[in-house]
Amino acid sequence: MGNRALRKRAGQLLKQAGHGKRLWRGSKRRGRSHFNARHTRHVIERLERKPGDLVNDCDGFNHVIKDYIIWWGEWDTNFLVVNVDQYAFEDGRWSCGCPYGPVDAWTVDQIRNFHDLSDETIESHREGGWWTEKNQKLIDRIRSGDPITDERGVKLPLE
């Protein structure tokens, strides 16, 4: 698929999401240089996920998408670019917004293995000041065999 077709698909998805189909406002030359194939595929990938879909975020748990976070980034006074880099989740969180997340949903076993840390890792996190009481409760539940997620991989509340 060429750049023109990618930009057209991204515009269609923006329109379906309830926004205008323009990917930029300003110079056509600058817009086409910014919306190269890689960036446009990124926008398309984010817009193809719909509210209600399940994704895995940087915290290692699956979340249900509630809405897109679509905003206009200003490069200078004459050029605005659409950005779709985050989601609002049903649990009240926003996705982290990092370039590689959120990703497709993980299985419950993948989530459990991600959070099952070694004693050395836990100790280094404590020394760095990153370990909290919630982290310890999560590890205690994993090691006792209690579930940490429901069947979809969404985090259960810690008591």
Contact 143, 112 (CB under 8 A): no
> Mean of the pLDDT values across residues 39-60?
88
Inform me whether the pLDDT recorded for 77 exceeds 80.
no
Contact 46, 85 (CB under 8 A): yes
pLDDT of residue 102: 85
For residue range 115-136, list pLDDT tens digits in order: 878 888 888 888 988 888 888 8
**Pair of tokens at residue 95:** 């996705």
Q: Would you give the end-to-end CA distance of the chain in angstroms? A: 50
The packing angle between helices 119-128 and 133-144, to 10°, is 170
Measured between alpha carbons, how far is residue 107 from residues 2, 24, 114 in Å?
34, 37, 11
